[in-house]
Structure 1
């Protein structure tokens, strides 16, 4: 065999071994130790596809359950796989997870609609799934779910919601929007004149929303966002008055519901300090645990990764648990383990 042929074969073998090693690494990194079952749940007039994930290797249950409530946007049950590290952390504490696809017409929903959808999912799990402990069901929700979670807690029939994990949630829709605008302008290095102009445009848009202006009138306004669709304008029109204050106060009337409030220190969307202050003043004393993560964004991803699309993609493939700041997943696992009654045995 010639030296050239030997070199070529060696290179081919090395490449094959490297590819096999990388494939093995990816498979290992995406093995979450979960039993995932595709389910269909009747919720708020829809039959929504979803996933019920239970801890692998821990018997048939019954397991306490975390029901996930999505943030804004079109989201499937796994959030394109983003939720699985969360489900794994919950499973380590002995908890199952239930997550549903958003309905196709989600832009037609109000926060009350979303709360009814979530309450129906709770009832479905409690009544029809023998592997679920109906007395130990709680909620995990992100971002826009902040206007859904307190409604569900306040309205859910007995035995009610036993705990809440709130991730990057706000209290008042319009104040959150102003905070987001100011934060993004600061991040972009905008000067006083540009900031003032943006705030004027915002007030003009709010005036249109407050008097129920049609989309065509908004589109004709000088500050209209040309990428904003009629469906999105309709969604904002339905929900821009959302405020969680009354529902948070109603949560308190349901008893001592433990709440874990999570935020990222680099969040440009939500003022975590304002949310924390509201939760502390409105919830029952001793029920709130707060965790704020340095170097984390609104999505609770590590900020440097979120700002680099190629680093984000590579990490999602080869080390998905490393997408999150240190302690985030472990803190949620600990919170669940330390709830009254302890974790599943």
Structure 2
């Protein structure tokens, strides 16, 4: 008899079962992540020629067996955004697919290996880019050329109506767009100061700094002049970013919005938007488009500027975990369904049904 061997065997057995349990849990979590990040659509890379170079795009099409689909062309907001917005667009693309629409997006110039530099672009450049993508899509046999529209977020608010002025579009989905660049910037500055609990003295100093920056932009100051004026502290500003702002700081959608008259427009606005004055945006859109009767406004009280749930967006950990295990739940309640229903409500010719 060897009684001393039994405890070792029991210890080994416990270790093995612990390892098995960990592997089973890990496999289950991996499976859950894979299931939640699998979407009912066909996603493929595409190339679009524009201005002597190539736009690296992604086309996400429904798996419904139809030969032709309508198309939602995505126009990014500010920043270095790739075609899928780090997969953040995919829940929306799936909602579009359920409505029978494909989705088209592309890497911004200079992003994910794409040629060019998005900071060299004006809003007109961006509109020309989107118009070229629409022309490319109209030539495809799998796209219904009479049902092509736009989706655009934030900074895209200055691009969407410019595109509509260049080429016919069947609809527009505008997500948290601003009207006037300078007004939006001032609104954002004050909102962030309030959120930080800034003192009256700090608020006054920040406004004075902002006013000085506007004066520099108005006289076409160089980046070096800006840095000198700020006391040598660029405060995160780069020469390329300064150039981008100098090209675009006069952007104002007021004169361009009439190009959307008669076009079905879904305007989606967040209840907790510190980037854009949503009340001002709604007034601007209603003034320009209400007469045509094709404007639909949806507000999401629990949403932040990105239309993600504010309670999730405020925490990096919550955002990461939700993106992994329930990416469709990132967005404000009703946001995805409202976009799907809007598309479903469009007629075969792209016009809103009565």
Q: TM-score, normalised by structure 1?
A: 0.94
Q: Does 1:220 align with 2:233?
A: no
Please identify runs of 4+ aligned residues in structure 1 that moved more than 2 A.
Answer: 43-46, 222-226, 340-343
Shift in Å at residue 177 of structure 1?
0.2
Pairwise CA distance, 1:38:
0.5
Residue 182 of structure 1 aligns with which residue? 190
- After superposition, the Cα gap between the structure-2 partners of 1:134 and 1:342, relative to the gap in structure 1 and judged at 3 Å, is closer
Q: Which residue of 2 aligns with 1:152?
A: 163
**Among candidates 140, 145, 169, match of residue 134 of structure 1:** 145
CA shift, 1:18, in A, is 0.6
Q: Does 1:163 align with 2:161?
A: no
Q: Deviations over 1:62-110 (max 9, x none)?
A: 1000000000111110011000001000001010000011011110000
**May I ask how many residue pairs the two structures share in their alignment?**
335
Most deviating of 171-180 and 185-194: 185-194
For structure 1, the residue ranges without an aligned partner over 5 or more in a row are none
Q: Equivalences for 1:270-285 in 2 at 5 Å?
A: 270-283=276-289, 284-285=291-292
User: Do structure 1's residue 88 and structure 2's residue 94 form an aligned pair?
Assistant: yes
Give 1:37's match in structure 2, choosing from 22, 37, 44. Answer: 44
Please state how far the C-alpha of 1:329 moved relative to its aligned partner: 0.3
- Partner of residue 120 from structure 1, selected from 118, 128, 132: 132
1:162-216 C-alpha deviation (Å, 9 max, x unpaired): 0000001001000000000010011111122211111111010000001100111
Distance 1:17 1:342, change over 3 A: farther
Query: Structure 2 stretches of 5 or more lacking a match?
Result: 1-5, 111-116
Q: Secondary structure at the match of 2:343?
A: helix
Q: Is 1:173 the equivalent of 2:181? A: yes
In structure 2, what is the equivalent of residue 78 of structure 1?
84
- 2:345 match: 338
Residue equivalent to 1:230: 239
CA contact (8 A) 1:90 1:333 kept: yes
SS at the partner of 1:301? coil
Deviation (angstroms), 1:308: 1.0
* Cα RMSD after superposing both structures: 1.3
107-116 or 306-315, larger mean C-alpha shift: 306-315
Q: CA deviation at 1:218?
A: 0.3
Q: CA deviation at 1:250?
A: 2.9
Q: Does 1:200 align with 2:212?
A: no
TM-superposed CA distance for 1:340, in Å, is 2.5
Q: Which residue of 1 aligns with 2:303?
A: 296
Deviations 1:280-324 (A, max 9, x none): 000143111111112211111111221111111111111111111
The answer (yes or no) to whether the contact 2:99–2:340 under 8 Å persists in 1 is yes
